[in-house]
Each structure stands twice: as C-alpha cells, then as structure tokens.
Amino acid sequence: MKCIKVVRETKDNKIGTIRRVADSEADTKVSSKVWAFCPKSEWKLATRKPKSVQVTDQATDQVTDQVELSIEEKKLARKKTKK
C-alpha cells in the first residue's frame, strides 16, 4: 500500500486529495503525472481527527478524583473494622 496525492486538478480529482492504494495502482497513477507519492504521515493527518487536549485533561481530573475518593473510603472502612 502506498499513499498518493493529487498534483494536477482534473474533473474527477481536486488538488490535495490523498488516497491509500495498492502498489501497482499507485505506480500507474503516478506515471500519469496527475498524482504524486506522499508520506503515510500526511495521509494519517488528513484522514484522522485530531485529539482535543481539553477532553483528555478533564478525563484525567475525573480519574484522580475517583482514586482519591476510593482511598478515603478505604481508610474509613479500615477504621470501622478496627473498632
């Protein structure tokens, strides 16, 4: 599998379109000089949604709150069993 990107606009393809295709298909399209090879990292950036930093921060805050609560609950449970 190879990643190719449109270099010249046609009626079917817009400039900047990135596709992942089989090696043989990529070779034939690149030889037509409408397409060019591009790195896989560029294809990944174009096809996948970027992760939001705020969402991950909120998720970690919630996890730490739950961990702190469970520690406090454990301490209370220990005190109750000792009496």
Q: What is the pLDDT of residues 3-37, one digit of tens each?
A: 999 999 999 989 989 999 999 999 999 999 999 99
Using the CB atoms, write b or e for 52-62: b if 16+ within 10 Å.
eeeeeeeeeee
Choose between 57 and 12: higher pLDDT.
12
Q: How far apart are CA 42 and CA 68, in angstroms?
A: 41
pLDDT reported for residue 75 = 79
Asked if the model's pLDDT at residue 62 lies above 80, the reply is no
Structure pTM? 0.56
- CA torsion angle for 30, 33, 34, 35 (degrees, to 10)? 30
Choose between 73 and 41: higher pLDDT.
41
pLDDT reported for residue 43 = 92
